[in-house]
Amino acid sequence: MELDDSILSSIKQMLGLTDDVTAFDNEIIAHINSTFMGLNQIGVGSDIGFSIHGYEETWRDFIDDQRYIDPVREFIYLKTRLIFDPPASSTVSDAYNQRIAETEWRLNVMAEHLAAQSEEEGVAP
């Protein structure tokens, strides 16, 4: 997956859905947008927030820093998966939650580090 890939399409693909299955799009979009709000609160992405409305928005629209893309994509997928299609096994659910917590912590640390680095250089992150 690339920076120019549709956010909705790539999350749906990770959920095992194709673009022609649109019955759940509104629900998936709501979950994705909720996760974007959480990312914004830990310093990832634009200061003004971000949301998607359909297939047009790409990963590059959210953030143009390749270092973030894979962990952000995984984070959004796992959060969406837990709400949209929760695993039947509590063990799997616990593993997802542990991975979400670790990825969130890592993204937060990265955002803080890049913000501090930018501040030292006198450049906006």
Q: What is the DSSP string of 2-43?
A: -TTSBHHHHHHHHTT--TT--TTHHHHHHHHHHHHHHHHHTT
| Domain-located, residue 108 | yes
Total tally of structural domains belonging to the chain: 1
- Name which of 77, 59, 55, 66 is nearest 110 in CA terms: 66
Measured CA to CA, the distance from residue 86 to residue 100 in angstroms comes to 14
| Domain-located, residue 59 | yes
pLDDT tens digits, one per residue of 8-39: 999 999 999 999 999 999 999 999 999 999 99
pLDDT tens digits, one per residue of 60-105: 999 888 888 899 999 999 999 999 999 999 999 999 999 999 999 9
| Domain-located, residue 87 | yes
| Domain-located, residue 1 | no
DSSP 58: B
Residue 78: give the domain boundaries.
Answer: 7-121
Question: How much is the pTM?
Answer: 0.89
